[in-house]
Structure 1
Amino acid sequence: MFHSSIEAKRPDHVAGVLAFLGRGRAAPLGGSAWAAFDASGGEPVLAVHPRNRRIPYAAHRKAAVILTVPRTSAEILAVACRENWPAELRDENGPVVALLVEGRHPVHLRVTPRP
């Protein structure tokens, strides 16, 4: 099980975009926070809290979140362009797209081939 948290200006929107990339869904988490679920629909893989809200268990706000998604690098880069989020394709023992969500939070999406 993997889980991480980030902050965003629009938590519902960010959770929705990241859930889309994971072929999952987004749902309210409580208060103004939202969660992105992967395609399995089990536990949330990413909690998105409102910006400037103190996340007590966040060890380091600038740490990159790494997620594996069933998308091609071209699909991820197209969504990043649509959202105006800086992104670059990297080779880190396989293709990884490094995003800056809302231009602030590093999220690395490891590309996996679709079955």
Structure 2
Amino acid sequence: MTDCLFCKIVSGDVPAKIVRETGRVVAFRDINPQAPTHVLVIPRDHHPNAGALAAADAGLLGEVMTEAHQVAVDEGVADSGYRVVFNTGSGAGQTVFHVHAHVLGGRGLNWPPG
């Protein structure tokens, strides 16, 4: 999609601090981090939200989760604990409508969030 910020990051038209990438997934640092570790993991293909991705390609959703875990390992938060969050829809706080997983860690993450 030509007007999608994350599609522009995937294409290289918008810079991002990439921390991991595969043939189908890209992970980059959030520009407004909410925790010491805050990385977004996205599929290269455009899907508007987690539900749409699950319906279209459950295997790709699995790859996003696999990469989210690997980000946690690489960032050193896998053993102490981390959170993976998909905001789906504007009512849940989704502001970029290209599915993305937030990997958060590096500090205590109280429940419930927000």
Using the size of structure 2 for normalisation, the TM-score is 0.29
RCO (CA 8 Å, sep 6+): is it higher in 1 or 2? 2
TM-score by length of 1: 0.29
Structure richer in strand, relative to its length: 1
More helix by share: 2
